[in-house]
Copies of this chain bind each other. A is one copy, B any other.
Amino acid sequence: MSNAAAASQTSDLTTPTPALWLELNRLEANIRSMHGHLHALGVTLRPHLKTCKSIDVARLLLAAGAERFTVSTLAEARYFLAHGLTDLLYAVGIAPGKLAQCSALMQAGLKLTITLDSAAAAKAVAEAANRHACHYRVLLEIDCDGERAGFAPDAAALIDAATTLEKSGCHVEGVMTHAGGSYHCHDSDCLQRAADNERDMTVAAAERLRKHGFAAPVVSIGSTPTAAFAHDLSGVTEARPGTYVFQDLVMVGLGVCGLDDIAISVLSEVIGHRAGPGELVVDAGWMALSADRGSAERGLDCGYGLVCDVAGNVLEGLLVKHVNQEHGVIAHRDGRPLEMHKYPLGCRLRILPNHACATAAQHAGYHVCDSSVDTGMYWERCTGW
């Protein structure tokens, strides 16, 4: 739509601003799309709940067939267990200081799997297994692209760690990785190669464990970009994408989705006009949007977010150029002054997130909407650690 149409959409909404809006129809379509794709590739989904942190979103994933899930904090594990999810992978390398909490969660009925990537961590887990009389389930993290963490698939330490764990009565369930390097890709060929590499590295590590006598039934891969571009996941048993439920501008930049697939946005209100440069001031700063600048590194730099009218139509060329704590400055991408009368004081605008996980994390919950209409449903998020 043209920018002109925005003028009519002023203050007819009562949701307090800034607010995190979630478009239910887009969320459901994103879930259908990823689940259909991975199902066709013969892989089980273990969706990562770090993006949504919401039992209401998780219930849609359950309805779409997901039976196990991934979390990024033990607070998420406690929250989702309390809401009935009993099979969770905690996909951050285990801190020794968290093992007592893990034991308590397992005693409370959680089928919890933890991850680690060093002989030292295997030793710490084995010692805690004795101390807490707890047989931890463990996935060994594999470094598939040098991005962050993990054993090299051919490392001697991988076999040593598995041996240490099994001797202590722990269960080596298999291997997992996160293809963080895929976020540096600029085209679909690169993403397909990243997906192939992620598969090859994890399958190789699992086969090595099996050759040494470990069953290692699980081969788990991560990341929305590689899951979206994978075309052959032979040997992989599960995938753990998370961002796909909402999508974001980084995913648009990577070619994973289109702007019309982004399911969350920040509703804001115009509170001022910068007459000189022809810019708008809205009541959404980094506190509501996050300071994430992820879109700057890939594809199109979207500032702190692209701008839509309240119905979700992208206003061509408009982006959030600058943020303070509670102020956002909206400008035209090419510096051209905006026609201020089209965006009067009190006009409401929606801002698409660079990074869905980061923007959602700034809010206590979701105002669930059907396109531009607030349904009145509010879905809370889990917070903390």
Please give the residue numbers on chain A whose beta carbons come within 8 Å of chain B beta carbons, in ascending order: 11, 14, 16-19, 50, 72-73, 92-98, 101, 117-118, 120-121, 124, 146, 148-149, 180, 269-274, 276, 281, 283, 286-288, 290-293, 322, 324-327, 329, 344-346, 348, 357-358, 361-364, 383-385
Residue of B50, B95, B357, B362 touching A283 (CB-CB under 8 A)? B95
Do B95 and A361 have beta carbons less than 8 Å apart?
A: no
- Assess A385 versus B97: contact at CB under 8 Å? Given A281-B149, A324-B148, A327-B149: no
Bound complex: CA A271 to CA B149 (Å): 10
Bound complex: CA A18 to CA B325 (Å): 23
Do B101 and A325 have beta carbons less than 8 Å apart?
A: no
Bound complex: CA A283 to CA B149 (Å): 12
Bound complex: CA A281 to CA B180 (Å): 15
- Assess A96 versus B345: contact at CB under 8 Å? Given A292-B286, A292-B291: yes
Bound complex: CA A18 to CA B72 (Å): 12
A-B complex: 6 closest residue pairs judged by Cβ atoms:
A96-B346, A93-B271, A95-B269, A120-B345, A291-B291, A92-B326
Closest Cβ neighbor of A92 among chain B residues: B326
Residue of B149, B276, B357 touching A272 (CB-CB under 8 A)? B149
Do B385 and A72 have beta carbons less than 8 Å apart?
A: no
How many copies of the chain does the oligomer comprise?
Answer: 2
> Hey, which chain B residues are within 8 Å of A290, CB to CB?
291
- Assess A121 versus B345: contact at CB under 8 Å? Given A95-B283, A290-B291, A361-B287: yes
Bound complex: CA A180 to CA B281 (Å): 15
A-B pairs with beta carbons under 8 Å apart, 15 shown: A11-B96, A18-B385, A50-B326, A73-B326, A95-B269, A95-B283, A95-B346, A97-B269, A118-B272, A121-B271, A148-B274, A149-B272, A288-B385, A290-B291, A364-B384
Bound complex: CA A158 to CA B259 (Å): 41
Do B361 and A96 have beta carbons less than 8 Å apart?
A: no
Bound complex: CA A345 to CA B93 (Å): 11
Do A286 and B124 have beta carbons less than 8 Å apart?
A: no
Do A97 and B325 have beta carbons less than 8 Å apart?
A: no
> Hey, which chain B residues are within 8 Å of A17, CB to CB?
95, 97-98, 385
Do A101 and B346 have beta carbons less than 8 Å apart?
A: no
- Assess A329 versus B148: contact at CB under 8 Å? Given A18-B385, A97-B11, A124-B345: yes
Do B385 and A19 have beta carbons less than 8 Å apart?
A: yes
Closest Cβ neighbor of A120 among chain B residues: B345
> Hey, which chain B residues are within 8 Å of A361, CB to CB?
287, 362
Closest Cβ neighbor of A274 among chain B residues: B149
| Cβ distance A367 to chain B, nearest Cβ, rounded Å | 12
> Hey, which chain B residues are within 8 Å of A287, CB to CB?
72-73, 361
Bound complex: CA A22 to CA B293 (Å): 28
| Cβ distance A217 to chain B, nearest Cβ, rounded Å | 24
- Assess A118 versus B384: contact at CB under 8 Å? Given A16-B101, A292-B291: no
- Contacts A16-B98, A92-B283, A361-B362 given; 17 further ones with Cβ under 8 A? A17-B95, A50-B326, A72-B287, A73-B287, A92-B271, A93-B281, A95-B283, A96-B345, A98-B269, A118-B272, A118-B273, A120-B273, A124-B346, A148-B324, A180-B324, A291-B358, A325-B358
Do B286 and A358 have beta carbons less than 8 Å apart?
A: yes
Bound complex: CA A311 to CA B296 (Å): 37
